[in-house]
Every structure is written in structure tokens, then in C-alpha cells.
Amino acid sequence: MQSYCIPSALAALFRTFEICFTAPGFRHFVSLMTGWVLVRGPHTISRVLRVVRRLRRSAHHASAYRFLSHGRWSIDAVGHVVLGLFLPWLPQRVLAIVDDTLCPKCGRQLFGVGIHHDTTLSTYHRDGRRIDTCRPGHSWVVLAIHVPCPWASERGWAIPLLFRLYRTPGRCPAASYRKRSELAVELIALLGSWLGPDRGLDVTGDGAYCCKTVLRRIPQQVRFVGPLPLGAALYDTVDRPSLRGRPRRKGYRVASPRTRLAQQRGWEEAEVLMYGRPVRVQIFTCVCIWYPSAGTSPVRIVITRGRRGALDGRAYVSTDPGLSAEEVLATYARRWLLEVSFRDIKQELGFEDPRNGWWRRPHGRRDDTCRPPARDLTSRKGKNAVERTAPLAGLVYALALRWYLENGRPALDVARARRLAPWYRHKHAVSFPDMLAALRREIWREQFRRMRLGTRIRRIALNLCEMAGLAA
């Protein structure tokens, strides 16, 4: 670590990952992480290595690719270390957020590429019909943890912790195919084992994960909060066992959320904090059984409607009946933080930019590009390269936030951002691009300090870096 021109605080964070790698692998890890922070534009591995060479690190470029494809390390072990770094900022009950995101890529020779639904391009026609758009690429199931903001209680971040690549049924063997919900259950169980019995675990996700596969397979001590279909079949709880025959598992059928929205009784006015601002809504809540998905366990149902009445109705479910309606709504609202993290790691850190993980057909053999390959392309080289490279962007996101929590100066960075862009008068909180810019300036400042430049020349060099777009 002595030859690397990185700040001491960042070097201390890097040293916590030594247990995950061999000695040569750890050197490649530090180089890739440092270059990933400093690179501008597309975050391909070649561009990251180009920045690394500017910092006088002369490792051969092929060794970095072999580190990703053949190295003896696990991305889950790295996520375990990231969890330990944020434990001092986590509450007693940890909130996890699960969701999936699409990284558009094309090419039949790229491991794991499939045709997936793209929610960002899907829209609605003027007559109300939904227009769905599908694109080729990698679909990642991500589990993140919610970290509260120390200097603003109403804000927080979603730190990506665990990643799984979803493969379509036509591109993988039938024995190894797993649905996105099954991958989510695996990630939730792994995070719960890391936290142990001392900390509780709450999980929230969208409608794709609020289903039978997740609700019936997650550990008993895990609480899940998610959206409820308006036409869900709900049943009353069983008050007393039946005297004859098999014991009843559920009571009589009760009104569905769509039916409740059309009724006028039982609603209460409440002001809840959702998405960082107070919202005035009408709430109906009850404890019942959602037998098709949650089984016989009682759940808390929360139905909301706004000013437009039934047209603006939403329904939510919590596997813990003891939660209040306000807690259910506030927990589900934090799900949006993971969408913000996806935006940051894609636009600022190039989550979908790396292109390694290709396989090459034998020389002279032609391949039909209109049909899927006849054999399973699960080579160890391509599989490891794809499953390890893209999650590095989430790791850089976590490291930048962790460094800023201890060494950042939010007030100065906000003042600096407003000075550079005075038209942003509503900016009162530091964003992730501000944190990343602060970390880049600190790395370049350490680089210039090692050059033993004078104070005035160092200041000029930093200004030139900012003007060139290398630090800001």
C-alpha cells in the first residue's frame, strides 16, 4: 500500500478487504478501485487501466482481466466486508431493499445476455394502453441496505450489497434456472445470516417480489413490506379452532382493496412522511390473511387514497401485523432510494459500461446470429468476468459513501456546488456526485503531495484538474 498515491483514510478502507483476496489480487483490487473512481466517461476496464498507468502503476493489463475472470475471490465475501463497514451507522433493525435493474448490452457471445423488459422505455398510449419495450442485456437482482444520513434524518442512501445475474430460461440449462424472486430469497437469507440474532431485518420491494415465492420462503424473523394487488383475495383470521373436521386455515372472505376503495366507512385522515415530504391521505388498515401468497400467517393491510378517491388508491401489505399504517408506508417509501442508487452507479460509475465476458468461437466456424446457441455458454472465464465486473461499480459507490461519512464536509461541498451553479438555489443537501468529486480531489491532492510540489503550484494543478473535468 505504500506505493499507492491514495489518501490514508481511503487506504484504511482498502485494507479491510485484504482478507478477500490473495496478495497479487489485492494489489489489482486497489488499482481497479482507484482507477474506477478517477475515470471519466465510459467505465470500461481498459479506460480504468489507462488511468492506473497515469498513477505510475505498471502492472500488465492482461493480469487485471485475469483477476476478474480467474481470480480466487468471491463478490459475496466483498459484500460481507462492506456490510461490516456500515454497521456503526445502521439501526437495530436493518432495512434491506430488493429490486432488479437492466444493463442494456447486445451480442450472443456475451455471457448472460437475454431479452428483458425495460421499464424506463415502457410507457402508456394516449388511449390508456400500455406499451411495453424489451431490450437485450443483463438483468441484475440487487439487495441493498438503507443507511440513514447522519446530518439529515429524513434522508438516506441505499448501499448495494449483493448482486445476482438473472438468466432467461432459453439461455441457461433448466436445472440451473432460477426466477428473480428465488434469487431475492437467496440474497435475503444470506444477509440475515450475516446480521445474526442481534439485529432484526426488514425487507421491502416492488410487486415483482411481493409474491408467494418470497413471502413463504423468507426466514420467520424477517419482516417484508410491499405493494398489494387491488384484487387480492383476503380472508378473515381464524378466532377459534373448529370442533369438527380439519382445523380451519382461514376465515371468511373479506372485501378486496378495490372494493374498499369504493366504500366510505372505516377511512381515517392522516399525514404521513413519504419520499421526504408530508403527504395527506386517507387510510384504511386491518389485519387479515392473504392466503394465496402469505399463507395462514396474519398480515397488516394498508389501503390509501388521495384527493382523486378510488382512482388514486394504493394497497400495501406487511408480514408483521404489529406495524402501524404510518410505519408500513414510510418503510415502503424508502424503496425509491435504490432507484436513486441505480441512477448514480449507472451515470456516475458506469455500471453498464464494462464489456468483458465474451467467448470466441473456433476459427473458421460460422454461427447463426438469428438463433440461440446450441450449447450452454457457461465457461468459467466468461461467467466470472460478467458476475464480478459490474458489481464493482456498486462497490465503488459504497466505498465513496463510506469515505465521505467519516471525512466529508457537507456544508463546504454544498456551498462550493452553489457557487459553481448559482441557479440551483434549492440545493441544500450534498448529492453523490458531490461526494465523488470530493473523493477525486482528495486523491489528486495526495498525488500532487507525493510529487513534492509547492503550495502555489499544487493549487494551480488542482484548479487545472477541475477545469479539465478530472476532479469535479
Q: Tens digit of pLDDT for each residue in 395-428?
A: 999 999 999 999 989 888 888 888 888 888 888 8
pTM of the model: 0.89
pLDDT in tens, 109-164: 788 888 888 888 877 777 777 788 888 999 999 999 999 988 877 789 999 999 99
Tell me the DSSP string of 161-180: EEEEEE--GGGS-GGG---H
Evaluate whether 213 touches 181 at the Cβ level (below 8 Å). yes
Evaluate whether 388 touches 346 at the Cβ level (below 8 Å). no
* Residue 413: predicted pLDDT: 87
* Residue 1: predicted pLDDT: 47
Question: How many other C-beta atoms lie within 10 A of the C-beta of residue 212?
Answer: 13
Cell numbers that stand for 437 in this block? 468529486
Residues in the chain, overall count: 472
pLDDT in tens, 204-224: 999 999 999 999 999 888 999
* Residue 367: predicted pLDDT: 52
pLDDT value at 363 more than 60: no
* Residue 211: predicted pLDDT: 92
Separation between Cα atoms, residue 318 and residue 325, nearest integer Å: 9
Q: Please state, rounded to an integer, the average pLDDT across all residues of the chain.
A: 85
Separation between Cα atoms, residue 404 and residue 151, nearest integer Å: 12
pLDDT in tens, 280-293: 889 999 999 999 99
Question: Which runs of consecutive H residues, i.e. helices, occur in 284-352?
Answer: 291-294, 325-333, 336-347
* Residue 119: predicted pLDDT: 84
> In terms of Cα–Cα distance, which of 136, 133, 112 is closest to 123?
133
Which residue(s) pair with 140 in the sheet?
Answer: 101, 165
* Residue 151: predicted pLDDT: 84
pLDDT value at 172 more than 90: no
Q: Where are the domains of the chain?
A: 225-322, 408-472
